[in-house]
Amino acid sequence: MTQPFAPLANDRFLRALRRQPVDHTPVWIMRQAGRYLPEYRATRARAGSFLKLCKTPELACEVTMQPLARFPLDAAILFSDILTVPDAMGLGLYFAEGEGPKFERTIRSRADIDALKLPDVGSDLRYVTDAVTLIRRELGGKVPLIGFSGSPWTLACYMIEGGGSDHFEHAKALLWDDPEAAHRLLDLIARAVTDYLSAQIQAGAQAVMVFDTWGGALSIGHYREFSLRYLQQIAANLPRQHNGEQVPLILFSKGCAHSLEAMADTGADALGLDWTIELGEARRRVGDRVALQGNIDPVVLYASEAAIVQEATRAIQSFGNHPGHVFNLGHGIHPAIQPHKLKLLIDTVHSESRKVFGTR
């Protein structure tokens, strides 16, 4: 299906992901539609619950658009939750007041794994693809829209633990004690994620990102065997050609700077980075194979304006005058951050990169 979407006015984000020159470094921010914005909190209150916000396309569209009205961001990202896929697999996602996500049912045994089925993305996750199409129309070509999913390993952590966890005792014990069952589970999730991202692309997503929030909790050996392998499976199987263009795939394994070269070998178009590696060093390590997205510590937004300008400038200078950088934080923006500080950060990235590129 081809939707009559408006042509793209600002393509810096897609150009940077394709390692083409841009006049300034494009910026988007993880959780840019989030609790630090009073207008988000108002919509969230009106929705009644976080899940209602995620599952109502009109509300998801509304909050997705909010940061774009305030800030000169170069991309929009679908407002959703990383746990939509296990919820669609029947685990019963819910949010207890003041706590993180939880599942009514957990996956602990081979029988649990064998009973799992691929979700029917067209029906069970229709609310997400409807939101994607609605947002894409609402954007009117202003900036590109990013779709996303949690990674197989990260989703498996939540499915096995039944929610967040400090140490992932049950999830890690499965890797050690029954690696065959773990591989079956991860393969199933990887197939579901591939279907899910493909449906988001069909619905209008112009780039897609996989968040591997808990990759860094694993040893290198387990990261490669149980997380990276399934990121690679997604990269190999996701149909990325759409309407004659390649839809870029961004992989982000937090805390996994140890495996950048291996991640670049997956065939992904770009890698997310946190602040435990210098951008310039990461660029030297992966060369021209992938674009890089990141990477300053979101905690800098608690510091002074001078510190924010200094850190953003340092990041831009570290990457240098090369194509292939999308600026972002190294993790989501915190709820306590004052919005004007994010504005300063974005403006600084734009102006400092123009200096570096000689495009002032």
**Which one-letter amino acid corresponds to residue 260?**
L
- The nearest distance, CB 190 to a second copy, in angstroms, is 23
Which residues of the shown chain bind a second copy in the complex (CB under 8 A)? 167-170, 172-173, 176-177, 216, 219-221, 255, 257-258, 275-278, 296-300, 302-304, 306-307, 310-311, 314, 334, 336
- The nearest distance, CB 225 to a second copy, in angstroms, is 12
Cβ closest to a second copy, residue 41 vs residue 334: 334
The strand pair at 249-253 and 270-272 is best described as: parallel
Token pair in block for residue 80: 């959703």
- The nearest distance, CB 36 to a second copy, in angstroms, is 14
- The nearest distance, CB 340 to a second copy, in angstroms, is 17
C-alpha separations of 39 from 42, 184, 303, 339 in Å = 5, 42, 23, 11
CA dihedral of residues 46, 48, 51, 54 (deg, nearest 10) = -10
Exposed/middle/buried for residue 100 (C-beta within 10 Å: 0-12, 13-18, 19+): exposed
Q: What residues are labeled active site?
A: 31, 35, 44, 81, 158
Cβ closest to a second copy, residue 13 vs residue 327: 327
Estimate to the nearest angstrom the gap between the alpha carbon of 78 and the chain centroid: 9
Cβ closest to a second copy, residue 22 vs residue 171: 171
Cβ closest to a second copy, residue 310 vs residue 351: 310
C-alpha separations of 313 from 136, 177, 276, 288, 306 in Å = 32, 47, 17, 23, 11
- The nearest distance, CB 224 to a second copy, in angstroms, is 11
Cβ closest to a second copy, residue 65 vs residue 344: 344
